[in-house]
Amino acid sequence: MNKYIYITIIIALSVLMGCNDKLELYPLTKTTEGTFYQNEVQIQQALDDIYRQLGNYYNANQIPDLFEQYSDNTLIILRTGADNYREQITDFFIQTDNGIINSAWENGYGSIYICNNVLYQIENTTVKIEESKLNLMKAQAMLVRSLIYFNMVRAWGAIPYIDKKITPMESYDYLRVEPDIIYQKLIADLTFCKQVLPGSYTGTDVGRVTKYGAAAILTKIYLTLGDNNNAKAELEFIISSNLFSLDSNNDGEVNINDYLYIFAPLTKNCKSSILEAQYKAGENAMNTRHQQAYTPFYWDFHLPDQTITFRGDGSNTPTTDLENEFEPNDPRLNTSIVPGYTIIGTANFVEYPYTNKFYDPNWQYEGQNFEIIRYADILLMYSEVTNDPQYLNMVRARVGMSAYGTVEYPSAKYPTLALAIEHERRIELCFEYHRFFDLVRTGRSIEVMRAKGYDINENKLLFPIPLHAKDVNPGLSQNPGYN
Amino acid sequence: MKKNKPFGELFYRSLKKTLLTMRIAIILMILGILQVNAKEVYSQNTRLSLNFSDAELVKVLDKIENESEFFFLYNEKLLDTERKVNITEKDQLISSILDNLFVGTDVKYTIIDRKIILAPDYLSEVVSQQQNQVSGTVTDKNGPIPGVNVVVTGTTTGAMTDLNGKYTITISPDAKSLTFTFIGMQPQVISIGTLTKIDVTMAESAIGLSEVVVIGYGSIAKKDITGSVGSIKFDQGLSSLPVVDFGQAMSGKIAGVQVINGSGRPGTSSSVQIRGMNSISAGSAPLIVIDGIQLPGYDLNSINSSDIESIEILKDAASSSIYGSRGANGVILVTTKSGKSGKPILQLNYTYSVQEVIRKMDVMNAPEYAQASIDAAQNGWIKTGGDPNAPNTIAARGNYIYTWPTALEHPETLANTDWQDLVLRIAPMHKIDLRASGGDDKTNYSISAGYVNQEGIVITSDYQKYTLNLNADTKINNFISVGGMINFLYDHENQPFNRIVEWAVQYPSIYPVYGNNGYLGGPNTVDGFENYYAVLFRPVNGHPLYKINDDIQHQRFTTIGNLFAKFKLYDGLNFRTSFNGFLNRLDDTNYAAGDHGMGDTYKTTVSFVSNMNRTLNYTWDNLLTYDKIIKGHTFNMMIGYEYNHRDFYMLSAQRRDYNNDDIHYLEAGKTIYAADDDASQTNLISYLSRLNYSYLGKYILSASFRRDGSSRFGPNNKWGNFPSFSAAWRVSDESFMKTLPAISNLKVRASYGFTGNDNFADYIWVSQMTLAKVAIGNTLANSYYPSSIENPNLEWERTKQLNLGLDLGLFDNRIILDGNIYRSISDGLLLAVPVPASSGFTSAFTNTGEVKNNGIELGLTTRNLITKLKWQTQLNFAVNRNEVTKLGKDNAPMIYSLGTAGGMQKINKVGEAMFGFYGYQYDGVYMNQAEIDADPAHYASATPGDGRYKDVNGDGVLNSSDRTIIGNYQPDFTFGLTNSFTYGNFDFSFMIQGVVGGTIYDDDAHRSMLYHEGRNYLAEINNRWRSEEDPGDGYHYKLSTKIDGYEKTVSSYWLEDGTYYRLKDVTIGYSLPKIISSKIGVSNARVFFNGANLLTISNSRVFDPENFQNNSASNSLYFGVGGGQNTYPSAKIYSFGINVEF
C-alpha cells in the first residue's frame, strides 16, 4: 500500500506548488489605467475624452439646459417620469433633494475629474512629446474645465474648486470657494488657453476648441463680472480675426438661409461657430438627446418631414410668452416653435408647441451639434458693450427684420437699446441656454420674471447645493433660502 | 450490568429511567444507512481482513464498521464488549469472521444486509403464551426487528423482541395499551382491548438521532453536529411536489432559512436568505453545492427537485467557514439520489396541476375610474386658480389636463373591462419523473429523467424543462473506488412581454378590449376620447395586448458533473480527488414586433436582440482524510486543496428594421445595430483542513481552517484566512442525567467561525480604462477614460459569527426542540461608499462598514399521536435583528435612490437596520382649511384634501430634515408550521407559513395613484377625500392633475405592510395496500392531491407580498421593492399526482 502514499504525496505536492500567479487576473475586455498613457496616441485618446465630456455637459438636462428650463422661455405641459423634479425647476419650488440638480452636480464634477486627470497625465508623462504639443493638449483640457466651472458657478455660486487630480479621501477637504476667486482662476486659465490654442484647425481636428472659444468664454465671464471693458476687448479679438461671420453657410450672402443652416442636422462647425459641442449621428456614435428631450411627451404623431411615430420627454415646451415675443413675420419663429402636432389616428390637431431647433431626421441617434457660442451671440454682446445698435441690426438684417431705430422697429415695446438687445437675444438664442443668465447678469431677472407671475426671489437665482452632496460631506454649506 | 464502559456509554445515555427498571434494557443504534432494500447480497460479497490480538471486542466491531458498510446492533447489557479476543482473518466473508469471533459464547448474530444484530441466543426462544399475556411480532418494512422495547403504557412492565421480532408480555388486567419504542423508529402506542396478539409495523423516524447529514467536504452523524445545520430529507411526498425549482420544496421547513418566491414566472429561481443580511453592496445569495460541485452562480433551478435525496443548509459561520470566502451568506448543500444495492427499483411520478393567479389586484371599475378622472381634472383646474364653474372646454380651461371627455359623465356608456381577466388564465402543468436505480455490493447506479411542461398563468407564457441525471459509483478493489454524477438540464421559456401584467392592472377599465376598426381599445379608437390621447388617458401603448406580438425566449443548457476517485491508503487514511464541472449556456432572444394590433400607422421599428452567455466553472479538489478511534477518542481529520476556475463569456447582437414580423432571427433584419461581448475570469485557490474529535460521543470538538486566495482582490490582499471552532456536549449521556428520565436527549452546542464574501464582479479593484466614442467635427474617434478607482487593498468582507445551540428531546423524543441563538458581525464590508462627487466619482468600492445580525431560531417537533392515527407537528420560528454599526467616513448615512419611477429611497444609517425606507412620514389628509392653518409646518401649496406630512424634528417647517426612516422590509419574525397525519394508508399534511412585520413598496400602486396620464387607480382610492362633506377615510388625499405639493415626494404613503400568513401546502395521499399493489405488479403505489398557496391572508394590496420580500438576490437594495416592470404574480396550484414504484 505504500505506493499509494507516495502517489498521494506526489499529487499533493504537485497541486500545492506555486499557484499564486493564477491569482493575477486582469480585465479581458478593457485596458487598465496602470498600463495606459504609455505613448502619445494613448495620451491623445485620454485627452479626446474631454470632447465627450463637453458634449455630455451640453446635452439635455445638464446645467446649461436647466437654465433654459428655469427661464420664462419654457414650461412643462406633460412629460415623462414620475417625480416632479422638472416641475420644481420650471415652477421655482426646487427642493434640495431634486434628483436632476443632483445629477447635474455629479456630472459636472465627473467631467472636471476627466480634465484634471488628463492634465495630470500630460504634466507627468515620461513619453517624449514636444512642449508645444503638450501645451496644446493642456489648453484644450483647461478650456473645457473652465467652461464647466463657469456654468457651475453661475448655477450654485460658491462651489468646491478642484484643479488637480485628487483622491476621494482628499475631496472631503474641498469646501465651497467664493465665485470671485474661482472667476479669477478661470480667467487665468482661459488666458493661457487663448495664448496657446490655434485660431482654427484643419482636417480631422476641425471642431477642437480654439483661442476664440477661450475668448468667447472670457467675454461671458467678464460680462457676468460687469467688466465691460475686458469683455469688449475679447469680443474685438474675436471679431477682428475675420474668421467668423453671419454667413454661416459660406455662400457669400447673409440671409435667412444662414439662420436655417445653423440648425440643419448635418451642419458642423460652420462659419458662425465660435464654440460648439460635437455630436455625431448614428448608432454607437456620440449622440445627443436634444430633440428627444424637447419633443412632446406624446405617442402618435410625426415630427415634420418624418414618417415615424415619435415620443419625446416633454421638457422645454415653449411658453406662450415666448411665442408672443416674436415679432410678426419673424422667419425665425417657424424653426424656434412648432405650434403643435396632428394625431395620426384621428388627424386631430393638438396645440402643443415645441421647438424644432434640434431637428434631426436620425431621430433615434441624433447627432446635431450644439452651438455653445455662435457669432450672432458675439455680435449681440458687442452691441451691448459698445452701445452701438449696428451689430444688433446685422443680426436682424440677416433674417429680414427691420433695424433698430427705424420706424418699422417695434420701439414702443423695446424703447431702449438694452431692451432691444434683450429682446433680440431671447428670439435669436431661445432654447440655446442663454436667456436666464442674460437676465441675471443684467440684473433684470427678478423684475421680468415676477411680472410674468413667476415665484422668484434673490435666493432663487442660485440652485440649492444638492442634499446628497451635503449628506456625504456635511462640511458643505447650503445656499440661503434652501434647507 | 457492566458500568463505565466507554463504548457502551455512547449508546446508553439516551435511555430513560423507565427502561432501567425493565427486565431487560435495550440500546440499539443504527449508523449511517437510511434504507435497506436488500438482504444478503452485500454480506455475501464483502470480504474483510482483520488482525487483532488480545483486543477488546468493541475495537474489532469498530474496525469492521470502519472498514465496511456493516454496522452492529446489540444490547450493551447483554454483550460483553470488553471481552478480549484474538482474530486473524484474510479476505473472509463476514459470516465466517463472526463465527470465529463469537465461537464459544452465547451470542448469536443475524445479518440483514449491512445490519448485524448481536444477541444472546436465549433471547431467541420465546416462551409459549399464557394467560394475561399479549404477544406479537414487530417488523419494519425490511422484516422483524429484534430488541424493540415493549412496555405497558404508563408502567414499568416491559419486554423486548427477540431475533425474530417476537415478544410476549405479561399484563395486568387494567393495562390499556402497549408502547413500542426503538431508537431510530417512530414510537407507537396500541390499545390492547381484548387482543392477545398485537403485531406492529414500525416506521423509521424522519428525525432520528442516527441520521447522517452532509456537511461541507464530508458528512457527519446528526448527533455529532456542533454547529447549526438544517436538513431536509426529500421523501416521496416532497420529491413529487409539483415544484419546478427546488427552493419551493424547502419553503417554511427550516428556522432562519427564508425561501422567497420572487415571481410566479415559470422557470424562475426562488431566492433564499439565511440569517439576515450581512452585506450592503456585495451579493447576499448563499452558495449552492450540488454533490460537492460548487455552483458559480445562484440558481435553485439547476437540478430537478425529484433527483434530490436531501438538502442541508449550513447556517452558522462555523459550519460554513469550510467554504471560506464563499460561506458568509450560508451554504446550501444538495445531495442527489444514488442507487442502493439490492433489487433494481423503477419509480414513476406524475403530477397534473392547474394553476391560477393567487389573487387579483383590486382596481377601480369604469364608473369609479370615470369619476376619479373628472375629480382629478377639476381639482387640478381649481388648484391653478380656475373658476370651478368654468365650462369643460379647452377654450375655457386652456389645457386638456384640466378638462375631461364628456363621455366620462355617462359611465354607463363605457366598456367595463377587467384587464386582469384578459391576460391571466387558468393554466395546466405536467410533471413526469422516471428513475431507475439499483446496485450490488460494488456498484450503485441511478438514472433518472424528468420533464415539466408548464403553461404560465399569464397569456403567451410557457415553460418546458428536461432533465437527465446519472449517478454511479463502483469499487474497483479494496483500495480504489470511483464514481461520479452528471446532470443535464435543458429548459425553454416563452416569456410574456415584461409589462403585460403591470399594464393589465393599470389600463383604465373604461375601454373595450377592441375599439373602432377592430384595433386595440384606447383613446384613439373609442369615440369621444380623441383629444385626450396621452393627456389624461393612457394611450394605446399601455394596452395589455399592445406588445402581444413580441417574442421573448430563453433557453438554458446546464451540465453539472463530477468524477471522483477514492483511495484507501492505510488504515483509516483515505485520499479523495474530485473534478467538478459546471457548464452553463443561456440563450436569450427578444423580438420586439412592429405590429401592435393598431394598423399600419402605428407600426414601430422592429428590433431583435440575441444574447449568448456561457459560463464554465470547474473545481478540482483533493482531500486527505484520516479517521481514528483510540479508546473512545474519535478523530476525523481532513486536509485538502482546491482549485477553482471560472470563465464567463457573453455575446450579444442586435439587428433592426424588419420587413414584417414573420422571421424572428437576426438574418431577416436589414440593419446591423449592435455586436458586443464581455468576458471575465476568476480563480480561487484554497487550502482547507478540519478536525473533528469526540470523546465517548459526549464531548465533541471541531475546528476547521481554510485559506483562500482569489483573483478578485487587490494585490495587497489576495489571501484570507477563515478559521472556526465549535464544541458540543451531550449532557444526556452523562450518568447524572439518569435521574431525569423525561429528558431523552440533551445537547448543548457552541460555535464561532469566520466566513467571507467575495460575491461581486471581477476586476473591481483595478482602475479600468473604458473605451468611448467621441465626435470631433465629422470624425468619430476613440477616447479612453478611467471609469473606476484603483483599490489595491480590496479584500474579503468578513463575517464572524457566534452560535449557541441546544438540542432537547423529551419523553422518548416525542418532543424535540432545536434552538439556536446567534450573533454575527460582518466587517470590512465590500461597500460602494458614497464619496463627494467633487472627487469625480460618486462612490468608491472599499472595505468599510460593519453590520451586526442577532437572531433566535427555534425548531419544535412533536409527535402528538403515535397510535394508528399518527400526528406529528413541526414548528419553526426565527427572529433576526439587523443593525448597521459602522459606515464610511464619519459614519455619514448613505441614502440610495431606487431608480424606480416613484423615486423611493432607502438609507443605511448607523444604529438602524440596513436599507430602511427613507422619506417623509405621511400623516393623513388635511380635512379642511382650519387644519392647515393649525399646522405650523404645512407646506405653502397645501389645500384641503391634500396630504399632511409630519414635521419630524418639530421646527415648524416641513423640509428635507424631516425625512426619516419610514419602514424596513425586514420582518419581525417568520414561521412555518407543518402538521402531518397518517392513518392506515392515508396521509394528510398541511403547512402554514408566515412572515410577520416588515414593509414593502409597490411601484405599481405608487404610479397608478399619482400619474394622471390615465392609469387605473387602486379601488381603495374610492375612499379618497372628495370634499369637506365627503372626506373619505381621512387617509387617501384628493386626486389632482396639478401636483405641486408632496404627493410625488417619497413618503410613507406609498408603503404597505408586508405581513402575510399562508396556507402554503396541503397534501392528501393514499397508498395502495401492498396486497392490491402487488397484484398489479408494483411494489408501491400512492395517489395524492396537493394544493399550494391555497389561502393567503395579508393587508397589502399587491398580488403576493412574498414576491416583494426579495426580488433580486444580487442586490439587497431592492429587497422589499416590487411591482412595475417584470411583475408576474404567483399562482395557486391544485395538483393531482401518482407515485408508482416497481
Q: Hey, is the C-beta of A84 within 8 angstroms of any chain B C-beta? A: yes
Q: In sequence order, what are the residues at sequence separation of 6 or more whose Cβ sits closer than 8 angstroms to the Cβ of residue A462?
A: A155, A156, A157, A479
Over residues B377-406, the pLDDT tens digits come to 899 899 888 899 999 888 888 777 888 988
Question: Which residue is listed with cell 463569456?
Answer: B649
Task: For residue B125, name the pLDDT band (cuts at 50, 70, 90).
Answer: very low
Domain boundary among A316, A335, A354: A354
C-alpha cell at B205: 423516524
Q: A107-111, B5-9, B461-465, B515-519 — which is least confidently predicted?
A: B5-9
C-alpha cell at A32: 487598465
| Averaged pLDDT for residues B157-166 | 79
Nearest CA to B878 out of B220, B176, B254 is that of B254
Q: A368-382, B140-154, B928-942 — which is least confidently predicted?
A: B140-154
| A93 contacts on B by Cβ (under 8 Å) | 940-941, 1044
C-alpha cell at B885: 454599526
| Residue environment code for B897-915, b if the CB has 16+ CB neighbours within 10 A, otherwise e | bbebbbbbbbbbbeebbbb
Size of interface A-B (CB pairs under 8 A): 302
C-alpha cell at B869: 392515527
Q: What is the pLDDT at residue B249? A: 80
The DSSP letter of residue A402 is P
Q: What is the pLDDT at residue B645? A: 93
**Cβ separation A15–B710 shorter than 8 A:** no
Q: What is the mean pLDDT of chain B?
A: 83
Residues 804-833 in B contacting A (C-alpha not used; CB under 8 Å): none
Domain boundary among A354, A383, A400: A354
Residues 262-281 in A contacting B (C-alpha not used; CB under 8 Å): 268-269, 278-280
Q: Hey, is the C-beta of B790 within 8 angstroms of any chain A C-beta? A: yes
Question: What is the C-alpha to C-alpha distance for residues B876 and B865, in angstroms, rounded to an integer?
Answer: 19
Q: A19-33, B74-88, B579-593 — which is least confidently predicted?
A: B74-88
Classify residue B51 by burial, with Cβ atoms within 10 Å: 0-12, 13-18, 19+.
exposed
Residue B130 pLDDT exceeds 70:
no
Instruction: Report, in angstroms and rounded to the nearest whole number, the Rg of chain B calculated over CA atoms.
Output: 34
Percent of chain B with pLDDT over 70: 90
Over residues B669-724, the pLDDT tens digits come to 988 888 899 999 999 999 999 998 988 878 899 999 999 999 988 888 888 899 99
Q: How far is A108 from chain B (nearest CA, A)?
A: 9
Q: Hey, is the C-beta of A103 within 8 angstroms of any chain B C-beta? A: no
Q: What is the pLDDT at residue A418? A: 94
Q: Hey, is the C-beta of A78 within 8 angstroms of any chain B C-beta? A: yes
- Mutation for testing the A interface, residue in B785, B838, B962, B1012 having most A CBs under 10 Å: B838
- Mutation for testing the B interface, residue in A9, A29, A119, A454 having most B CBs under 10 Å: A29
Domain boundary among A354, A374, A396: A354
| Averaged pLDDT for residues B455-462 | 93
Q: Hey, is the C-beta of B67 within 8 angstroms of any chain A C-beta? A: no
C-alpha cell at B301: 433551478
Q: What is the pLDDT at residue B10? A: 33
Check which CATH number belongs to the domain holding A154 and give it: 1.25.40.390
Q: In sequence order, what are the residues at sequence separation of 6 or more whose Cβ sits closer than 8 angstroms to the Cβ of residue B662?
A: B668
Q: Hey, is the C-beta of B122 within 8 angstroms of any chain A C-beta? A: no
Percent of chain A with pLDDT over 70: 94
Q: Hey, is the C-beta of B577 within 8 angstroms of any chain A C-beta? A: yes
Residue B984 pLDDT exceeds 90:
no
**Cβ atoms of B925 and B939 closer than 8 Å:** no
Over residues A375-408, the pLDDT tens digits come to 999 999 999 999 999 999 999 999 999 999 899 9
Over residues A463-474, the pLDDT tens digits come to 999 988 988 888
Same domain, A349 and A466: no
The dihedral over CA atoms of B540, B545, B547, B552, expressed in degrees to the nearest 10, equals 160
Phi, psi of A266 (to 5 degrees): -95, -5
Q: What is the pLDDT at residue B122? A: 56
Q: Hey, is the C-beta of A27 within 8 angstroms of any chain B C-beta? A: yes
**Cβ atoms of B167 and B190 closer than 8 Å:** no
| B959 contacts on A by Cβ (under 8 Å) | 95-96, 483
Q: What is the pLDDT at residue B275? A: 80
C-alpha cell at B1045: 405639493
DSSP string, B93-142: EHHHHHHHHTTTSSEEEEEETTEEEEEEGGGG-PPPP-TTEEEEEEEETT
Residue A55 pLDDT exceeds 90:
yes
DSSP string, B14-81: T--HHHHTSSS-------S-S----SSHHHHH-EEEEEEEEEEHHHHHHHHHHHSS-EEEE-TTTS-T
Quickly count: other Cβ atoms within 10 Å of residue A188's Cβ. Answer: 12
C-alpha cell at A285: 456614435
Pairing mode, if any, of strands B830-834 and B922-925? unpaired
What is the value of pTM for the model shown? 0.80
Same domain, A39 and A159: yes
Task: For residue B900, name the pLDDT band (cuts at 50, 70, 90).
Answer: low
Q: How far is A93 from chain B (nearest CA, A)?
A: 8
Residue of A nearest to B678 (CA): A29
DSSP string, B181-236: E-TTB--EEEE-TT-SB--EE--B-TT-TT-EEEETTEEEEGGG--S-EEEEE--H
Task: For residue B14, name the pLDDT band (cuts at 50, 70, 90).
Answer: very low
- Mutation for testing the B interface, residue in A9, A11, A30, A309 having most B CBs under 10 Å: A30
**Cβ atoms of A144 and A209 closer than 8 Å:** yes
- One-letter identity of residue A328: P
Q: What is the pLDDT at residue B285? A: 83
Percent of chain B with pLDDT over 90: 32
Residue B614 pLDDT exceeds 80:
yes
- Tell me the CA end-to-end span of chain B in Å, nearest whole number: 47
**Cβ separation A77–B767 shorter than 8 A:** no
A432 assigned to some structural domain: no
Q: How far is B534 from chain A (nearest CA, A)?
A: 6
- B35 compared with B423, residue with greater pLDDT: B423
Question: What is the C-alpha to C-alpha distance for residues B350 and B1007, in angstroms, rounded to an integer?
Answer: 43
Residues 420-459 in A contacting B (C-alpha not used; CB under 8 Å): none
Q: What is the pLDDT at residue B516? A: 86
Q: A344-353, B818-827, B920-929 — which is least confidently predicted?
A: A344-353
Residues written for chain B:
1142
Q: What is the pLDDT at residue B541? A: 75
* Total domain count, chain A: 2
| B401 contacts on A by Cβ (under 8 Å) | 77-78
Over residues A160-202, the pLDDT tens digits come to 999 999 988 899 999 999 999 999 999 999 999 999 999 999 9
Pairing mode, if any, of strands B133-140 and A317-318? unpaired
DSSP string, B561-596: EEEEEEEEEETTEEEEEEEEEEEEEEEEEEEE-S--
Same domain, A51 and A167: yes
C-alpha cell at B641: 486543496
Residue B19 pLDDT exceeds 60:
no
Q: What is the pLDDT at residue B206? A: 46
Question: What is the C-alpha to C-alpha distance for residues B188 and B869, in angstroms, rounded to an integer?
Answer: 10
Over residues B398-418, the pLDDT tens digits come to 777 888 988 899 988 888 999
Residue B355 pLDDT exceeds 90:
yes
Q: Hey, is the C-beta of B575 within 8 angstroms of any chain A C-beta? A: yes
* Nearest CB neighbour to A168, from listed B643, B783, B835: B835
Over residues B795-841, the pLDDT tens digits come to 888 889 999 999 898 888 889 999 999 999 988 887 778 889 999 88
Q: Hey, is the C-beta of B1045 within 8 angstroms of any chain A C-beta? A: no
Question: What is the C-alpha to C-alpha distance for residues B32 and B68, in angstroms, rounded to an integer?
Answer: 12
Instruction: Report, in angstroms and rounded to the nearest whole number, the Rg of chain A calculated over CA atoms.
Output: 26
Percent of chain A with pLDDT over 90: 69
**Cβ separation B567–A4 shorter than 8 A:** yes
Phi, psi of A243 (to 5 degrees): -85, -15
* Nearest CB neighbour to B780, from listed A20, A99, A285: A285
Q: What is the pLDDT at residue B537? A: 63
Task: For residue B4, name the pLDDT band (cuts at 50, 70, 90).
Answer: very low
Q: What is the pLDDT at residue B35? A: 30
Q: What is the pLDDT at residue B203? A: 72
Task: For residue B61, name the pLDDT band (cuts at 50, 70, 90).
Answer: confident
Nearest CA to A76 out of B401, B148, B984 is that of B401
* Nearest CB neighbour to A113, from listed B624, B679, B839: B839
- B1115 compared with B592, residue with greater pLDDT: B592
Q: Hey, is the C-beta of B620 within 8 angstroms of any chain A C-beta? A: yes
Residue B471 pLDDT exceeds 80:
yes
- One-letter identity of residue B1012: H
Q: What is the pLDDT at residue A390? A: 94
For chain B, count helices (H), then strands (E).
16, 57
Residues written for chain A:
483
Nearest CA to A108 out of A54, A43, A69, A30 is that of A54
A140 assigned to some structural domain: yes
Q: What is the pLDDT at residue B436? A: 92
Residue B495 pLDDT exceeds 70:
yes
Q: How far is B678 from chain A (nearest CA, A)?
A: 6
Same domain, A344 and A453: no
| Residue environment code for A428-441, b if the CB has 16+ CB neighbours within 10 A, otherwise e | bbbbbbbbbbbbbe
Q: How far is A264 from chain B (nearest CA, A)?
A: 14
Q: What is the pLDDT at residue B1010? A: 61
| Segment holding A441, helix H or strand E | helix A435-441
ipTM over 0.85 threshold:
yes
Q: In sequence order, what are the residues at sequence separation of 6 or more whose Cβ sits closer than 8 angstroms to the Cβ of residue A389?
A: A383, A403, A404, A405, A417, A420
C-alpha cell at A398: 440677416
Residue A216 pLDDT exceeds 80:
yes
For chain A, count helices (H), then strands (E).
20, 9
Q: What is the pLDDT at residue A229? A: 95
- One-letter identity of residue B106: D
**Cβ separation A286–B773 shorter than 8 A:** yes
Q: In sequence order, what are the residues at sequence separation of 6 or more whose Cβ sits closer than 8 angstroms to the Cβ of residue A44?
A: A137
Nearest CA to B878 out of B272, B123, B29 is that of B272
A83 assigned to some structural domain: yes
A436 assigned to some structural domain: no
Over residues A89-136, the pLDDT tens digits come to 988 888 888 889 999 999 999 999 999 999 999 999 999 999 999 999
DSSP string, A398-423: HTTPPPTTSTTS-TTTS-SHHHHHHH
Q: What is the pLDDT at residue A395? A: 95
A395 assigned to some structural domain: no
* Nearest CB neighbour to A36, from listed B687, B769, B890: B769
| A171 contacts on B by Cβ (under 8 Å) | 835-836, 838-839
Quickly count: other Cβ atoms within 10 Å of residue A17's Cβ. Answer: 7
Same domain, A163 and A52: yes
β-strand partners of B174? none
Residue B569 pLDDT exceeds 80:
yes
Residue of A nearest to B675 (CA): A284
**Cβ separation A468–B1007 shorter than 8 A:** no
Question: Which residue is listed with cell 463627494?
Answer: B836
**Cβ separation A285–B775 shorter than 8 A:** yes
Question: What is the C-alpha to C-alpha distance for residues A421 and A434, in angstroms, rounded to an integer?
Answer: 13
| Segment holding B249, helix H or strand E | helix B247-250
A453 assigned to some structural domain: yes
**Cβ atoms of B1136 and B1068 closer than 8 Å:** no
Question: What is the C-alpha to C-alpha distance for residues A365 and A230, in angstroms, rounded to an integer?
Answer: 41
* Nearest CB neighbour to A51, from listed B605, B776, B1007: B776
Question: Which residue is listed with cell 433551478?
Answer: B301
Cα dist from B52 to B56, B84, B104, B274, B479, whole Å: 9, 10, 18, 49, 21
| Averaged pLDDT for residues B365-382 | 91
C-alpha cell at B150: 415493549
Over residues B1053-1099, the pLDDT tens digits come to 889 998 999 998 899 999 888 777 777 778 788 889 999 899 999 98
Q: Is B163 helix (H, G, I), strand (E, B) or coil?
A: coil
Q: What is the pLDDT at residue B902? A: 54
Residue B9 pLDDT exceeds 70:
no
> What domain range is A307 assigned to?
290-354
- Mutation for testing the B interface, residue in A5, A9, A19, A33 having most B CBs under 10 Å: A33
Residues 210-229 in A contacting B (C-alpha not used; CB under 8 Å): none
| B781 contacts on A by Cβ (under 8 Å) | 45, 48, 204
- Sheet of strand B158-160, all strands in order from the earlier edge strand to the far edge: B158-160, B149-152, B177-181, B188-191
Over residues B744-771, the pLDDT tens digits come to 888 999 999 999 888 888 888 888 899 9
Residue A15 pLDDT exceeds 70:
no
Mark out the alpha helices in A326-407 (DSSP H runs): 332-336, 375-386, 389-398
Cα dist from B1018 to B382, B457, B506, B1012, whole Å: 24, 22, 9, 13
Over residues A401-416, the pLDDT tens digits come to 999 989 999 999 999 9
- Mutation for testing the B interface, residue in A56, A161, A300, A370 having most B CBs under 10 Å: A300
**Residue B1003 C-beta-side C-alpha neighbours within 13 Å:** 28
**Cβ atoms of B800 and B829 closer than 8 Å:** no
CA A242 to chain centre: 25
